[in-house]
Each structure stands twice: as C-alpha cells, then as structure tokens.
Amino acid sequence: MKILLGIFFAFLMNQSILAQEQSYNQCKGAVFAPLDGTFQIKFLGKAKSNQIWLVFIAPNDGEVLINLRCAEYFSGKIFLSNESICDQNKDGSNTLNFETIPSGNYQNIKKKVEKNQLLTLVLENKPKSIASLDITTSFIINDQIDLRHQLNLIYDNALPTYSLIIRDDKSSKPISSRIIIQGNANLNGTYFASDLLLNLPQKVRKASIKIDAPGYFPMEFKEQNLPMGEANSDTIQLHAFEKGELTKLEQVYFGAGVPEILEESYPQLNRLRDFLLLNPSVSIEIHGHVNIREEGEGEAKKLSKQRAMMVEKYLVENGIAANRLFPIGFGDSKPVYANPQNEEQKEANRRVEILIKSN
C-alpha cells in the first residue's frame, strides 16, 4: 500500500542504488540550473563516468554565458535541443565539445539559444575525483518586452483550447517549468514553459500533470479532468523554497509503516537537492512526523527519525554536506489532526517538514 505523505522523506537503506540512479551524475538526475547566478557543485567521485549534468531552459531568444573553473582538469559537452536530452539519441548533432581544461583555468562558453530551447551541459572529471566546480551564469535576452516563457502549440483556432499558466504564489511572476502531462493519445508529453497553450478537442479524464521548476517545490495532480477549472485556462501557483520557513512538501510516497521512499517521489528530493546545491549558505532541519500509533511513543519516534535520516542519506549521497542537514524525529507528538477520523486526515499527520535556515 502506498501512502502519500505530505512531505519530504527518505530512502530505503538497502535501496541506495536507486538513489544513485537519480543523482546529477546522470541525465535523469540533472540539476536545473539558474540562467543568472553563481554557485558551486562537486563531482560525486564515481569510478566510471564521473560527470555533472546541468540543464538550462531558455525563457526567450538570447545568449547564455557560462564561466567554469575547477582545481582539476575536466572536459565537457553541450547539447542544444527542443526536448529533454534524456529522451532522444545523442548522435552528436548540434553538440559542442570542449577540450580538457587545465587545472585552475577558466572555460568560458557563449551559446545562442532560442525560446523554449534546452541547453544541457555535461562535465566530466577523472574517476573518483570529488573536486569542486565554480560556475557563473548569465543570460542576455533579445526581447525585453515579454518575459513569459510561452509555448504555443495551438494548431487550429477553430478547436477548443486549453492554457496552463505557471506563476509564483507571492509575486505572480511567470515561472519557467518542466510540465509533464499524461492524458490520452493526443495529450502525452513533456513541455518547458510558464504559459502552455494547447488544442483540446475533447475533454480529457483522469489526466496526470507534474510541474517542476528550479527553486520551487514540485506539484503533481492525479486523475484530473481537463480543463480543471471552469474556464479553459488553469493557473498553478508554485511555492519557492524560502529561508526561515517551515514547509510541508506534497506528493511523496512511502510504504506503510516503513521508511521506504518510492521512485515517483524523487523529483521532490532532487529539487531540494538543487536548492541546497545552488544556495551553499543554507542548512535545513528535517522534521519527521507519523500518524497516531497504537505501538506507542517509542516506535512512533523511531520511525519518524528514520524517515528524516533517510532524507539526509539521500541528499548526502547526491552531493550535499552532512553538516548542513539536521534530522529530527517528532513521532506523533505534533499531529495535524489530534483525532484523525479518516484516511485523508491520517495522511496529513504522516509527513516530513523542512525548516530552511542560514548557516
């Protein structure tokens, strides 16, 4: 039985290989990097293919500027694509290779991109190296008038249309996001946009929508009818990671009564990982909670601490220093519902929360 726990959990100890499959050493675990900022990231020290995968999404036509520096030799490739590089054959077309960079020297990259394009940067170091890589990025926009990241896939104006709008829940600014929709044969795909416009010739039932953006908590909607709202447009508000905030994360799945996190929860963990990688001055407390348990206070506190520690383990295995992570188990001492009456209320009690702090 899967349990939706309202928050951030852990990873089964004897399943650590699965966590590694989602690391930024591979395409599927790539870090969604900012187009304007400075950050540091470490190679994970793999014996084979010791790589770092970074993905940049162009909100408009422009030019991406990337400055790289490492204390050791490294090399890399750049892929430009209109779809996820993980979902296509990397045949070398539209690819830039750069030679091994001398220790301590800079590599400067300038690459023109089109609106909605993905720039994937794959960096490789010698086996088992855990050297740090300093990265500075900036983005020059050709058109400053419209900063929306609009993807218009409407092919027939005579047919009904549907718009999915992604915005920041406080500032209402457009948020460029990865949008995965699974509906029917005509509505399955991965899109990158803040404003997605589609033809919707017929109502779609039991669709699945996942939304994932750098610096924000992912969101997921299951078995939704499209359009979800009364009109043919829905606005989804994403919530950013913020310092000093105790935050509950949604759409994390666990086995009943065990600290096992299921694979569909990885996007949540990876976005928290990305946030910590891109904000090295931030540390977090990981608060584990369980529902009211008949087994007693001791067992409840033990399970909640295990879940918090599994979150810590996952993040450490994916490049986050352990001294930035503080797991705490509260057992069932702080329930959302003191006397849960149904499964929904019990699920609300089963949660992990994170408190974002400055070091």
Whole-angstrom distance, CA of residue 284 vs CA of residue 324: 6
**Stated pTM of the model:** 0.68
Q: Tell me, rounded to whole angstroms, the distance of Cα 18 from its chain centroid.
A: 16
Please determine, for residue 144, whether its predicted confidence score (pLDDT) is greater than 70: no
Whole-angstrom distance, CA of residue 113 vs CA of residue 171: 27
Name the DSSP class of 102. Answer: P
Taking the CA atoms of residue 315, residue 317, residue 320 and residue 323 in that order, the dihedral angle to the nearest 10 degrees is: 90
Q: For the chain, count helices (H), then strands (E).
A: 4, 23
Ordered by where they begin, the domains of the chain are 2-15+242-358 (3.30.1330.60), 18-141 (2.60.120.380), 150-238 (2.60.40.1120)
Strand-pair partners of 140: 63
Give the up-direction half-sphere exposure of residue 92: CA atoms within 13 A in the CB hemisphere: 1
Q: What is the mean pLDDT of the chain?
A: 79
Looking at residue 2, what is its pLDDT?
A: 34
Structure tokens at 73: 């030799």
Extended beta strands in 142-290, E state: 150-152, 161-168, 177-182, 188-193, 195-199, 204-212, 219-226, 233-238, 246-248, 252-255, 282-289
In the three-class reduction of DSSP (H, G, I as helix; E, B as strand; rest coil), residue 10 is classed as coil
| 227 cis-preceded (ω within 30 degrees of 0) | yes
Give the up-direction half-sphere exposure of residue 290: CA atoms within 13 A in the CB hemisphere: 26
Instruction: List all residues 6 or more positions away from 108 whose beta carbon is below 8 Å from its beta carbon.
Output: 65, 66, 67, 68
CB 68 within 8 A of CB 134: yes
* Strand bridging mode 233-238 / 161-168: parallel
Looking at residue 92, what is its pLDDT?
A: 47
Give the residue-averaged pLDDT of 311-317.
Answer: 88
Q: Provide the angle, in degrees to the nearest 10, between the axes of the packed helices 297-317 and 266-278.
A: 60
Please determine, for residue 214, whether its predicted confidence score (pLDDT) is greater than 70: yes
Whole-angstrom distance, CA of residue 246 vs CA of residue 355: 4
How do residues 157-179 score in pLDDT, each as one tens digit? 888 888 999 999 888 888 888 88
Least confident of 14-28, 206-220, 316-330, 337-351: 14-28
Give the residue-averaged pLDDT of 104-111.
Answer: 78
Looking at residue 237, what is its pLDDT?
A: 92
How do residues 54-94 score in pLDDT, each as one tens digit? 999 887 888 999 998 888 888 888 888 887 777 665 554 45
Give the residue-averaged pLDDT of 285-308.
Answer: 81
Please determine, for residue 110, whether its predicted confidence score (pLDDT) is greater than 80: yes
Give the up-direction half-sphere exposure of residue 116: CA atoms within 13 A in the CB hemisphere: 14
Looking at residue 319, what is its pLDDT?
A: 85
Q: Smallest Cα–Cα separation from 184: which of 164, 198, 194, 197?
A: 198
Q: Smallest Cα–Cα separation from 25: which of 235, 351, 196, 270?
A: 270
Give the up-direction half-sphere exposure of residue 119: CA atoms within 13 A in the CB hemisphere: 26
Alpha helices by DSSP H, the chain:
16-21, 266-278, 297-317, 343-349
Looking at residue 7, what is its pLDDT?
A: 30
How do residues 245-288 score in pLDDT, each as one tens digit? 777 766 666 666 777 777 777 777 888 888 888 778 889 999 98
Report how far apart, in Å, the C-alpha atoms of 81 and of each of 98, 114, 211, 266 are.
18, 10, 20, 24
